[in-house]
Amino acid sequence: MQKLTRQDLHSLEDYSAMRDDFRAQIIKHKKNRVLQVGPNVTMHFEDRLVMQYQIQEMLRAEKIFESNGIQEELDAYNPMIPDGSNWKVTFMIEFPDPDERAVRLREMLGIEDATYVQVSGHGKVHPISDEDLPRETAEKTSSVHFMRFELTQEMVNALKEGAALSVGIDHPEYQHAIEALSGSMRDSLVADLD
């Protein structure tokens, strides 16, 4: 998937005029890219369009219009765009009550390593997590992780030929799985692959 450049971005003025329509487009698009795994984990499968929206929103919020600032945002968000053989995911652990969240984040230490995707007929693929910076300590995990699931060419081919795709978490304190993604969500994820 092609990375974003300055030419893909709109000026603050142009973006302001189109923002409502673009936001509606993103909300519809993300319905096929956000996966709830059990009651407390959400996986956001990122892509070029979502990152374009994130950058535009950052430029707008921070009123960034100078070249260096725009390039900094591109450099920050482009790594989250899939490269054709992988999925890039923002992984969020969500407990509304802060006291419960503190306890559960201690119990769920290492959950990012227990998360997987699996193409039918192939082994589980665990992510490469938090390449940008460490997000857990010896005492607790973070409520947000950034993950990259690298697939082999055989897995990509199998998915394009219709193989089932499952996603799950196999952690002692949190075990949930979706046995087979289907429909528009599966189609959206397979479209990320070359």
Output the DSSP codes for 84-153.
Answer: SSEEEEEEEE--SSHHHHHHHHHHTTTGGGGEEEEETTS-EEPPEE-SSS----SS---SEEEEEEE--H
Full domain range(s) for residue 77:
6-190
What is residue 139's predicted lDDT score, i.e. its pLDDT? Answer: 87
Q: For residue 1, is it within any domain?
A: no
Establish if 152 belongs to a structural domain: yes
Residue 166: what pLDDT? 97
Q: Is the pLDDT of residue 28 over 80?
A: yes
In sign, the C-alpha dihedral spanning 10, 14, 15, 21 is negative
88 pLDDT exceeds 80? yes
CB 194 within 8 A of CB 85: yes
pLDDT band at 93 (very low <50, low <70, confident <90, very high): very high
Q: How confident is the model at residue 182 (pLDDT cuts 50, 70, 90)?
A: confident
Continuous segment of H or E residues that includes residue 27: helix 12-30
Checking if the pLDDT of 132 tops 80, the result is no
The count of structural domains within the chain is: 1
Instruction: State whether residue 178 is helix, strand or coil.
Output: strand
Determine, yes or no, domain membership for 101: yes
User: CA-CA distances (angstroms) from residue 70 to 46, 65, 77, 134, 165?
Assistant: 20, 7, 11, 26, 37
Query: What is the pLDDT averaged over residues 141-156?
Result: 96
Residue 150 lies in a domain: yes
Which of the four pLDDT bands, split at 50, 70 and 90, describes residue 69? very high
22 within some domain:
yes
Residue 27 is assigned to a structural domain of this protein: yes
For residue 41, tell me if it sits in a domain: yes
Residue 85 inside a domain? The answer is yes
